[in-house]
């Protein structure tokens, strides 16, 4: 059974539909990321799932339980969800242990049981020693871990996270992302996570749904969306891409100005179709040789890699290499063998001359 099943929902503000006929499923213990530009409707979907915004069409089920429609409207506190926000939303006048206990107090009256459970979740988020501190005495990362502990204390079936890492220093962000991911996985909790950072989406999610103006453009594993985007919108949103004019020669070969390029998987276009071959900067290899077919135009050493711009058969290609090449290099440009991503031109098919 899915942790979450959103089926054809519509949500509006002041009569204007922001989401229309939107569907999305999140499996048990799966972390789904909603990624997209500002204003595309990610938070609107999160609010609809939480029950903070009315859904005027379609249905939402959480662990098979119907949340809305046909006279049903489950209030947020009865949806068995945990919520974590960008600004932590901790009570400044309560210490860490009191903040964490807060959610449980309406469900559990036995003080000893509350204290035991608070100690358990503080241990889980590595804050066992800091129960007596107040929020202003904690770092951003520690405050966000308190918020996670508070959301987890009631053992939610689904966790909703709205840009939880935006206020965290870049140095600790990736570590915190790793920790919280491991925590959710370890506790078997499914989650939806909203961000507009593709790095966070890649690092945190099992699958990601890329939003575009109120609809989902593509949903799938991060690597699949990065390496095999279904549209140029997805390709460009997720990172730098080169486009090389090409036409389909046979089911596994494209003809380009760089010569024929063989795909490691069958192409989804008929022979004769013209379009664009998409190449990520890491899908192009350079080797130094005086008889090479390319010339280095520009280089920037960026620490983890070097951005290199080469000219090859009148194409300007951005390539990612480890170390900078000697200045004014002549290079051989080769496509790394892989399953090629090819976008046919919208005009349709043209015969190869
Ligand atoms: N309370 C509101 N009243 C009217 N319009 C709203 C309201 N809240 C959001 N909107 C509009 O709905 C659209 C979607 O907003 P939403 O907050 O879901 O976007 P988002 O993808 O989460 O963006 P961001 O990344 O900036 O948080 C936007 O055009 C926004 O202006």
Q: What is the ipTM of this complex?
A: 0.95
The answer, yes or no, to whether residue 351 has pLDDT greater than 50, is: no
For residue 240, report the distance from its CA to the centre of ligand 1, in Å: 27
The model carries a pTM of 0.88
pLDDT digit string, tens, across residues 205-231: 999 999 999 999 999 999 999 999 999
Burial of residue 352 (CB within 10 Å: 0-12, 13-18, 19+) is: exposed
Residues composing the chain:
353
Res 353: pLDDT: 32
Pocket test for ligand 1, best of 39, 209, 213, 216 (most atoms within 8 A of CB): 39
**244 vs 39: CA distance, rounded Å:** 32
pLDDT at 17: 92
pLDDT of residue 113: 86
Res 350: pLDDT: 39
Compute, in angstroms, the gap from residue 40 CA to the centroid of ligand 1: 7
Q: Which fold has domain 4-236?
A: Rossmann fold (3.40.50)
| Separation CA 298–CA 311 (nearest Å) | 10
DSSP label of 55: -
* Ligand 1 and 196: CB distance under 6 A: yes
Is 233 a residue whose pLDDT tops 90?
Answer: yes
Distance of CA 105 to the CA centre of its chain: 34
Give the confidence band of 23 by pLDDT, cuts at 50, 70, 90: very high
Whether 39 is in the pocket of ligand 1, judged by its Cβ within 6 Å, is yes
With cut-offs at 50, 70 and 90, classify the pLDDT of residue 71: confident
Query: Is residue 106 over pLDDT 80?
Result: no
For residue 273, name the pLDDT band (cuts at 50, 70, 90).
Answer: very high
- Per-residue pLDDT at 204: 93
Please answer whether residues 203 and 170 qualify as being in contact, where contact means their C-beta atoms are separated by less than 8 angstroms.
Answer: no
Tell the residue nearest (CA) to atom 28 of ligand 1: 39
Q: What percentage of the chain exceeds 70 in pLDDT?
A: 98
* Probe target for ligand 1 pocket from 12, 18, 33, 237, with the most ligand atoms within 8 Å of CB: 18
Å from CA of 210 to ligand 1 middle:
16
- Spatial separation of the C-alpha atoms in residues 44 and 214, rounded to whole Å: 9
Average pLDDT along the chain: 90
CA within 13 Å, CB half, 121: 29
Residue 327 pLDDT exceeds 80: no
Least confident of 37-41, 105-109, 334-338: 105-109
pLDDT at residue 352 in the model: 36
Residue nearest atom 30 in ligand 1 by C-alpha distance:
39
CATH for the 241-349 domain, from 3.30.310.10, 3.40.50.720, 2.40.50.140, 2.60.120.1440: 2.40.50.140
* Domains in the chain: boundaries: 4-236, 241-349
- For residue 70, what pLDDT band results from cuts at 50, 70 and 90? confident
CB-ligand 1 contact for 44 (6 Å cutoff)? yes
Contact 214 CB / ligand 1 (< 6 Å) = no
Residue whose structure tokens are 């890492």: 165
Q: Is the per-residue pLDDT at 97 higher than 80?
A: yes
Q: Is there a contact between 313 and 257 (Cβ–Cβ < 8 Å)?
A: yes
> Among 222, 230, 186, which residue's Cα sits nearest to residue 204?
222
Residue 108 has pLDDT above 80, yes or no: no
* pLDDT number for residue 291: 87
């Amino acid at each position: 059974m899915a942790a979450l099943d959103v089926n054809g929902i519509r949500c509006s503000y002041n009569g204007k539909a922001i989401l229309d006929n939107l569907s999305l499923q999140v499996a048990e213990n799966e972390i789904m990321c909603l990624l997209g530009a500002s204003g595309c409707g990610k938070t609107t979907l999160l609010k609809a799932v939480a029950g903070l915004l009315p859904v005027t069409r379609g249905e939402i089920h959480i662990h098979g339980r119907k949340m809305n429609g046909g006279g049903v409207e489950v209030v947020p506190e009865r949806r068995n969800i945990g919520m974590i926000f960008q600004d932590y939303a901790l009570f400044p006048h309560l210490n860490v242990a009191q903040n964490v206990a807060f959610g449980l107090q309406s469900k559990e009256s036995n003080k000893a049981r509350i204290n035991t459970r608070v100690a358990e979740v503080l241990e889980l988020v590595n804050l066992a020693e800091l129960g007596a501190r107040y929020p202003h005495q904690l770092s951003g990362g520690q405050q966000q871990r308190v918020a996670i502990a508070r959301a987890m204390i009631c053992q939610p079936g689904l966790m909703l996270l709205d840009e939880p890492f935006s206020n965290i220093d870049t140095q600790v962000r990736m570590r915190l992302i790793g920790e919280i991911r491991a925590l959710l996985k370890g506790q078997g909790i499914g989650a939806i996570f909203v961000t507009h950072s593709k790095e966070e989406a890649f690092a945190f999610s099992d699958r990601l749904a890329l939003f575009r103006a109120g609809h989902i453009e593509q949903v799938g594993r991060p690597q699949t969306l990065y390496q095999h985007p279904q549209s140029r919108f997805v390709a460009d949103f997720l990172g730098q891409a080169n486009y090389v004019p090409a036409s389909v020669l046979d089911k596994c070969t494209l003809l380009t100005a760089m010569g024929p390029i063989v795909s490691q998987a069958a192409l989804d276009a008929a022979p004769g179709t013209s379009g664009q071959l998409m190449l990520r900067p890491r899908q192009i290899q350079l080797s130094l040789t005086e008889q090479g077919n390319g010339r280095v135009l520009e280089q920037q050493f960026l620490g983890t890699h070097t951005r290199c711009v080469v000219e090859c058969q009148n194409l300007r290609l951005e390539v990612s290499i480890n170390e900078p090449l000697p200045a004014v290099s002549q290079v051989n440009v080769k496509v790394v063998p892989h399953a090629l991503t090819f976008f046919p031109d919208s005009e349709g098919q043209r015969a190869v001359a």
